[in-house]
Homo-oligomer: A and B are copies of this chain.
Amino acid sequence: MTRRNALSLAPPYIVERSLVTLGANLRTARLRRNLTLQEMAEKIGVDRHVVSDAEKGKPSTSIAVYAAMLWVFGMAGQLSQVADPESDEEGKALESARAPKRARRERTLDDNF
């Protein structure tokens, strides 16, 4: 990430936990396939330590590292399913019929004075 921001300093607990779980999943997948950190790192073109960090759920690691590891496991498609608009029932409900290209801040009462 670089350059300290509120997110990297103190991610919401739920975010932190979801990353730790994701990292653990990736580690399990790697070990099941009997791949070393080094082998995985070479496959995706990064340093061994970066793979290790991802498996620990380090928040500042780039999405590309996670995506590439999934790709090695043949699971790249799972990432595309995340936040899939078709499955986002709440989003569908909220959406007005128009499907706007831009959001527009709601006008509140104290906006006009």
Contact = CB atoms under 8 A, between A and B. Distances in A.
Contacts of A101: 31
B22 A91 contact: no
A63 B59 contact: yes
A75 B15 CA distance: 10
Given A29-B88, A103-B34, A22 B83 contact: yes
Nearest to A2: B2
What is the total number of copies of this protein in its complex? 2
Nearest to A80: B21
Contact of A61 (B47, B63, B76, B102): B63
Given A21-B80, A39-B105, A76-B14, A7 B68 contact: yes
A55 to B, nearest CB: 11
Given A31-B103, A59-B63, 14 more contacts: A7-B64, A7-B68, A14-B71, A15-B68, A15-B71, A18-B77, A21-B79, A29-B85, A34-B104, A59-B62, A59-B67, A61-B62, A73-B83, A79-B82
